[in-house]
Structure 1
């Protein structure tokens, strides 16, 4: 029986423009993404390096670019938190049928942007029983240790959880551990349809 709904944040609740960051960095003069950049991005996402160190690294790649411009490019992926998704979540929280947990691969610059630009962020956050961001807990999806962290922290069995994420790699990793999953397609599906799309589980 499902006891816990485990949600991703980006492209589940928060609308993303995923190609935007690469596009904006290219406009600033970045011609390609190296392995070292991808490594730095992952380190930043698990809180191993600070925002200052992260931006400084990109300034070594784009020395003529002000840090504010780099931050703007980095945050350009973030769009909005639609009202209908918030209302759906608030209804879930009010009903108290399920434990609600957020589990997001994110970083300090992104969450700071959300706090500053999404007026409903505190209302959104308050709906959850637990709220985990990768840079704060030092784990990231799809690594198994992040899912094991959830199981241990909340004394849950995998078959008691439905995990919703837009990245197939993440849902496949959770499924391999026994979680129920919904690999939501943000182009064609909506989180508000959670129960109709997964009626067989409820």
Structure 2
């Protein structure tokens, strides 16, 4: 029986265009994503380097303005359909489940969301969750198993009583290995508001 729900953020609640950053960087002359660049990205996503250090790395390497880099970086972020907030608020109000957010993200993306949504809406969303885990704040990222173990242990969750929703197969596979039920949602065809209709809840 499911008692705990762990949600991803991007392409679960907020819509993403995952190719947009690559396309915008290509317009600036960055056409190849190297292992070194990905290492910087992962370090930044785990809060192990500052925003200034992250942006300066690309600025120094490619001689691109920091403003253009930040704009390209945030191009991935799209809209937040409010019917999903309505679903989440009703789910939280029912008190049937313990709700958690677990997102791979970074300071630039969260700042953009806070500015785009406004802090009132952002806090309304955040307050629906018992815990709001952002990778750059807790210094861990999915799909590494330690981040899932951290959430389970810190909140005394039993894996078999927990479901994790994420659009990235690598992340749901990692959670599944720990005995957590998973929904690897397809954002083009599925919507988180249909969660309770799934077999895990019936």
TM-score range, shorter chain: over 0.9
Q: Which residue of 2 is the match for residue 54 of structure 1?
A: 54
TM-score by length of 1: 0.97
Q: Find the aligned partners of 2:31 and 2:111 in 1 and give their Cα distance.
A: 27
CA contact (8 A) 1:30 1:61 kept: no
Q: Find the aligned partners of 1:36 and 1:161 in 2 and give their Cα distance.
A: 36
Q: Which residue of 1 is the match for residue 23 of structure 2?
A: 23
Q: Which residue of 2 is the match for residue 125 of structure 1?
A: 126
Q: Which residue of 1 is the match for residue 90 of structure 2?
A: 91
CA deviation after TM superposition for structure 1 residue 19, in Å: 0.1
**Pairing of 1:45-194 with structure 2 (within 5 A):** 45-63=45-63, 65-119=64-118, 120-194=121-195
Could you give the per-residue CA deviations for residues 49-82 of structure 1, whole angstroms, max 9, x where no partner exists? 000000000112221x211111000000000111
Runs of at least 5 residues in structure 1 that lack an aligned partner in the other structure: none
Runs of at least 5 residues in structure 2 that lack an aligned partner in the other structure: none
Q: Find the aligned partners of 1:48 and 1:115 in 2 and give their Cα distance.
A: 22
Q: Find the aligned partners of 2:186 and 2:2 in 1 and give their Cα distance.
A: 21
CA deviation after TM superposition for structure 1 residue 201, in Å: 3.3
Pairs aligned (count):
200
Q: Find the aligned partners of 2:106 and 2:31 in 1 and give their Cα distance.
A: 24
CA deviation after TM superposition for structure 1 residue 2, in Å: 1.1
CA deviation after TM superposition for structure 1 residue 156, in Å: 1.1
TM-score by length of 2: 0.97
Q: Find the aligned partners of 1:157 and 1:193 in 2 and give their Cα distance.
A: 23
Q: Find the aligned partners of 2:85 and 2:155 in 1 and give their Cα distance.
A: 24
Q: Find the aligned partners of 2:55 and 2:8 in 1 and give their Cα distance.
A: 25
Which piece of structure 1 moves more, 116-125 or 41-50?
116-125
CA deviation after TM superposition for structure 1 residue 160, in Å: 1.2
Q: Find the aligned partners of 2:82 and 2:89 in 1 and give their Cα distance.
A: 10
Q: Find the aligned partners of 2:29 and 2:189 in 1 and give their Cα distance.
A: 33
CA deviation after TM superposition for structure 1 residue 26, in Å: 0.6
Q: Find the aligned partners of 1:97 and 1:199 in 2 and give their Cα distance.
A: 17
Aligned-partner SS, 1:182? strand
Root mean square deviation of aligned Cα: 0.9
Q: Which 4+ runs in 1 deviate beyond 3 A? A: none
CA contact (8 A) 2:2 2:200 kept: no
